[in-house]
């Protein structure tokens, strides 16, 4: 087997027998601690600890039963997730999509896929949860089972031999752990490499393809192979191809396949790895621009991946996350302010959770917009959001490896007003503030590098730059620049930010009405391409819902026109909807007429053939209003109908306020 300082050697000459799989090995191995309940269900059970049996005490209550179930419950994860199940919200589509795509790989119909989205949208969490399902929800003894492999590319790679060793070892750990249903094999801390190899030799039912992994690893460690990184990346595919088995590789932080600051680039080697139908690769990462434009959008990997974009949470699901996070972290947040929390955080799950946790830490209840703005300012300047975005910015500037004007250009771009950055103005500001003459070409070069890290947007076809669609990140860059670049006093900057946020004009004058709008918008999204019973809209016939291109809240419906509550766009068919959560008053004719006027503007401005109008009145409508809606063909719902409709499309009823 060799000394402890070298890897065990393979028997190459002579007879080599395949290791057989003991038929009762796993059946005899318990997944639980050595505690179990014994005895019939009609007698008081005894607690067996090792070989000794003791009768359980406290027969008057069942608290001990709960404790025993907690002890015996096995966490169903091979790789630990970060978001508690009690908080996890609205990524079911992606969980099911990737889980089913992985299983479908057995039919050789699954293409390698990239999950694209902004930072902290939950992409890594999706991959981990899918991998865990594949690990535990299949019969691991079935030769046709899909073997899941998870790997996250580090952002610091300086030695290609170390990388190749780690990559192959990681593959072997996942393969063996799945085939033995033993997640301990995944832990480098619990199980060193020599022990792993010994277990693989003794207990894994070897296939010809997987057996070569031992020899490959030994060759890499001894530096006895050519292009170790290429061999490592392609090895899972070669195993599945050779054995005609199915392996699905989940790769996180895929942008780190190219690290120019460390002269590390393995993107070109990935082409062979990802093209096999026996071994599709699902990839994601935290730098969407690099993934979409530079790695997958051109070069050797162009056309090798399907793509699936992940968007920010909708208002409804953002409010649900706010509510769940508040319950989990024990924060006090009013039901009708939850959608506003989601809106202020841009639907970003990390920002939403950070605001909730900051409220708990400050001991503040989020009951209104002013309190919310104050808490957001605190976290943006010195809390969870500040720490996360500081790390993101500093890592990317380190990656660019240009510390001089890069920080200044990033800061000045955040100060720009309007949609498009004025490079000439940035050039002048650099000269005034830093005393440096920098050419337009050099500034463009730096801006392109910053766009690769999703710190601003580069419209490549148009050749212009804009601020990233993340108001919190833009605000952070302004605060960060004052401290890091202009070297202003940190406390003064934080104090000014809190004053600014405390004085922000109230945006939602009717919180309950906005909450209902959020729910109505989600109904339209959930009901796309479906037909809904007309009774929920006080109509005799059923209502067909189109496949909306988008559903927007509080959108301007024309130049200088008042914004509509909800607008759904579906080409020639448009929807406008409005909510009135009035107390002790019914909706009248004048309010119906205003909504009908908005519908006319939509029809004219968007050249629509047909506009559907829907009105929600919490406490109902006057007789005259009902007659007007019947005359104009308006859909209308009261609290009762909307609650029933929400349940029909699998959403939560309106909260009681």
- Whole-number pLDDT of residue 16: 41
* Rounded Cα distance, 72 and 576, in Å: 53
Q: What is the mean pLDDT of the chain?
A: 85
- Sole residue written with tokens 């959560």: 581
Distance from chain centroid for Cα 80: 15
Q: Is the pLDDT of residue 445 over 60?
A: yes
Q: Is the pLDDT of residue 268 over 80?
A: yes
Is this prediction's pTM over 0.75?
Answer: yes
* Percent of the chain as helix, strand, coil, to the nearest 5: 50, 15, 35
- Sole residue written with tokens 């037909």: 531
- Whole-number pLDDT of residue 39: 34
- Whole-number pLDDT of residue 310: 92
Q: Is the pLDDT of residue 528 over 90?
A: yes
Q: Average the pLDDT over 305-319 and give the result.
A: 92
Beta-ladder partners of 48: 36, 53
- Whole-number pLDDT of residue 56: 38
DSSP-derived pairing of the beta strands 281-284 and 264-265: unpaired
* 186 within 8 A of 150, measured Cβ to Cβ: no
CB atoms within 10 A of CB 422: 16
* Rounded Cα distance, 635 and 520, in Å: 12
CB atoms within 10 A of CB 80: 9
Which residues are within 8 A (CB) of 155 and not within 5 positions of it... i.e. 6 or more apart? 253, 256, 259, 395, 399
Reported as a pLDDT band with limits 50, 70 and 90, residue 504 is confident
Q: Is the pLDDT of residue 398 over 90?
A: no
Closest of 412, 365, 362, 410 to residue 382, by C-alpha:
362
Q: Average the pLDDT over 328-343 and give the result.
A: 96
CB burial class (10 A; 0-12, 13-18, 19+) of residue 481? buried
Q: Is the pLDDT of residue 66 over 60?
A: no
Q: Average the pLDDT over 306-314 and give the result.
A: 90
- Whole-number pLDDT of residue 510: 82
DSSP letter assigned to residue 533: -
Taking CB atoms within 8 Å and a gap of at least 24, the contacts of 543-548 are: 543/635, 546/570, 546/571, 546/573, 546/575, 548/524, 548/575
- Whole-number pLDDT of residue 632: 95
Which residues are within 8 A (CB) of 268 and not within 5 positions of it... i.e. 6 or more apart? 299, 300
Please give the C-alpha separations between residue 304 and each of 101, 258, 469, 646, in angstroms, as whole numbers: 16, 17, 28, 40
Q: Average the pLDDT over 367-388 and give the result.
A: 92
Distance from chain centroid for Cα 242: 34
* 273 within 8 A of 236, measured Cβ to Cβ: yes
Q: Is the pLDDT of residue 70 over 70?
A: no
Q: Is the pLDDT of residue 509 over 90?
A: no
* Rounded Cα distance, 626 and 587, in Å: 9
Q: Average the pLDDT over 557-579 and give the result.
A: 80
Q: Average the pLDDT over 557-583 and give the result.
A: 81
Top pLDDT among 225 and 24 is at 225
Closest of 88, 240, 96, 224 to residue 174, by C-alpha:
240
Please give the C-alpha separations between residue 324 and each of 98, 251, 319, 512, 638, in angstroms, as whole numbers: 25, 29, 9, 19, 27
* Rounded Cα distance, 375 and 356, in Å: 9
What are the tens digits of pLDDT across the range 174-204? 999 999 999 999 999 999 999 999 999 999 9
Backbone angles phi, psi at 48, to 5 degrees: -100, 120
CB atoms within 10 A of CB 156: 10
* Residue 51 tokens, joined: 């070989």
Q: Return the percentage of the chain with pLDDT > 70, whole number.
A: 86
In degrees to the nearest 10, what's the CA dihedral of 310, 311, 315, 318? 50
- Whole-number pLDDT of residue 299: 73
What are the tens digits of pLDDT across the range 198-245? 999 999 999 999 999 999 999 999 999 999 999 999 999 999 999 999
Where is average pLDDT lowest: 108-122, 561-575, 601-615?
A: 561-575
Taking CB atoms within 8 Å and a gap of at least 24, the contacts of 400-404 are: 400/261, 400/446, 400/449, 400/450, 400/453, 401/260, 401/261, 402/446, 402/449
* Maximum alpha-carbon separation in the chain: 96
Q: Average the pLDDT over 110-133 and give the result.
A: 94
Q: Is the pLDDT of residue 9 over 70?
A: no
Reported as a pLDDT band with limits 50, 70 and 90, residue 75 is low
DSSP-derived pairing of the beta strands 610-617 and 635-637: parallel
* Residues found in the chain: 657
* 409 within 8 A of 423, measured Cβ to Cβ: no
- Whole-number pLDDT of residue 402: 62
- Whole-number pLDDT of residue 401: 62
- Please give the span between the terminal C-alpha atoms of the chain, in angstroms, as a whole number: 71
In degrees to the nearest 10, what's the CA dihedral of 559, 563, 564, 569? 50
Q: Is the pLDDT of residue 357 over 60?
A: yes
Taking CB atoms within 8 Å and a gap of at least 24, the contacts of 627-636 are: 628/589, 628/592, 628/593, 629/538, 629/592, 632/592, 632/596, 634/592, 634/595, 634/596, 635/537, 635/538, 635/539, 635/543, 636/537, 636/538
Q: Is the pLDDT of residue 72 over 90?
A: no
CB burial class (10 A; 0-12, 13-18, 19+) of residue 419? exposed
Distance from chain centroid for Cα 115: 9
- Whole-number pLDDT of residue 564: 61
Q: Is the pLDDT of residue 568 over 90?
A: yes
Q: Return the percentage of the chain with pLDDT > 90, whole number.
A: 65
Q: Is the pLDDT of residue 415 over 50?
A: yes
Closest of 300, 216, 311 to residue 257, by C-alpha:
300
The DSSP annotation for 359-409 comes to HHHHT--B-SHHHHHHHHHHHHHHSHHHHHHHHHHHHHHHHHT--SHHHHH
Q: Is the pLDDT of residue 11 over 80?
A: no
């Amino acid at each position: 087997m060799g000394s402890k300082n070298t890897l065990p050697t393979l028997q190459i000459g002579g007879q080599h027998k395949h290791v057989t799989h003991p038929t009762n090995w796993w059946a005899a191995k318990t997944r639980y601690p050595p505690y179990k309940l014994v005895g019939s269900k009609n007698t008081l059970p005894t607690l067996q600890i090792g070989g000794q049996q003791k009768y359980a005490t406290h027969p008057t209550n069942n608290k001990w039963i709960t404790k025993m179930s907690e002890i015996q419950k096995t966490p169903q994860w091979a790789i630990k997730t970060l978001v508690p199940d009690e908080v996890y919200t609205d990524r079911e589509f992606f969980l099911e999509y990737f889980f089913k795509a992985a299983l479908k790989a057995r039919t050789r119909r699954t293409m390698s896929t990239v999950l694209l989205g902004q930072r902290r949208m939950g992409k890594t969490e999706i991959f981990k949860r899918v991998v865990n399902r594949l690990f535990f929800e299949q019969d691991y003894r079935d030769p046709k089972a899909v073997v899941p492999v998870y790997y996250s590319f580090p952002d610091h790679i300086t030695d290609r031999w170390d990388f190749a060793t780690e990559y192959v070892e990681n593959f072997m750990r996942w393969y063996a752990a799945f085939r033995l249903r033993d997640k301990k094999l995944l832990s480098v801390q619990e199980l060193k490499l020599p022990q792993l190899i010994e277990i693989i030799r003794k207990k894994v039912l070897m296939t010809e393809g997987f057996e070569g992994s031992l020899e490959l690893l030994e060759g890499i460690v001894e530096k006895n192979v050519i292009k170790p990184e290429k061999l490592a990346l392609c090895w899972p595919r070669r195993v599945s191809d050779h054995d005609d088995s199915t392996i699905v590789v989940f790769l996180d932080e895929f942008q780190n396949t190219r690290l120019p600051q460390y002269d590390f680039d393995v993107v070109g080697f990935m082409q062979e790895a990802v093209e096999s139908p026996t071994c599709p690769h699902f990839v994601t990462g935290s730098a969407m621009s690099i993934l979409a434009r530079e790695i997958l959008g051109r070069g050797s990997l162009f056309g090798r991946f399907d793509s699936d974009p992940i968007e920010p949470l909708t208002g409804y699901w953002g409010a649900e996350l706010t509510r769940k996070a508040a319950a989990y972290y024990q924060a006090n947040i009013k039901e009708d302010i939850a959608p506003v929390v989601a809106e202020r955080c841009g639907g970003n799950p990390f920002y939403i959770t950070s605001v909730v946790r900051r409220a708990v830490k400050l001991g503040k209840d989020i009951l209104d917009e002013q309190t919310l703005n104050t808490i957001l300012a605190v976290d943006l300047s010195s809390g969870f959001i500040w720490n996360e975005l500081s790390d993101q910015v500093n890592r990317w500037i380190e990656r660019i490896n240009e510390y001089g004007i890069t920080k200044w250009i990033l800061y000045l771009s955040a100060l720009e007003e309007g949609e498009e950055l004025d490079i000439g103005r940035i050039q002048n500001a650099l000269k005034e503030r830093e005393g440096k003459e920098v050419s337009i070409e050099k500034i463009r070069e730096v801006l392109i590098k910053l766009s690769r890290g999703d710190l601003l947007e580069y419209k490549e076809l148009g050749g212009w730059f804009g601020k990233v669609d993340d108001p919190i990140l833009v605000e952070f860059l302004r605060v960060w620049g004052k401290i890091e670049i202009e070297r202003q006093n940190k406390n003064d900057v934080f104090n000014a930010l809190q004053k600014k946020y405390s004085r922000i004009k109230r945006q939602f004058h009717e919180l309950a009405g906005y909450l209902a709008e959020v729910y109505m918008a989600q109904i339209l999204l959930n009901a796309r391409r479906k037909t809904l019973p007309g009774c929920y809209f006080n109509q005799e016939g059923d209502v067909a819902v189109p496949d909306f291109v988008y559903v927007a809240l509080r959108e301007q419906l024309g130049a200088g026109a008042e914004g509509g509550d909800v607008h759904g766009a579906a080409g020639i068919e448009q929807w406008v909807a409005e909510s009135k959560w009035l107390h002790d008053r019914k909706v009248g004719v004048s309010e119906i007429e205003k909504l009908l006027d908005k519908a006319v503007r939509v029809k004219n401005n968007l050249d629509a053939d047909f506009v559907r109008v829907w009105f929600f009145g919490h406490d109902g409508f006057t007789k005259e209003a009902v007659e007007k809606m019947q005359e104009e063909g308006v859909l209308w719902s009261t609290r009762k109908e909307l609650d029933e409709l929400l349940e029909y499309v699998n959403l939560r009823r309106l909260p009681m306020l």
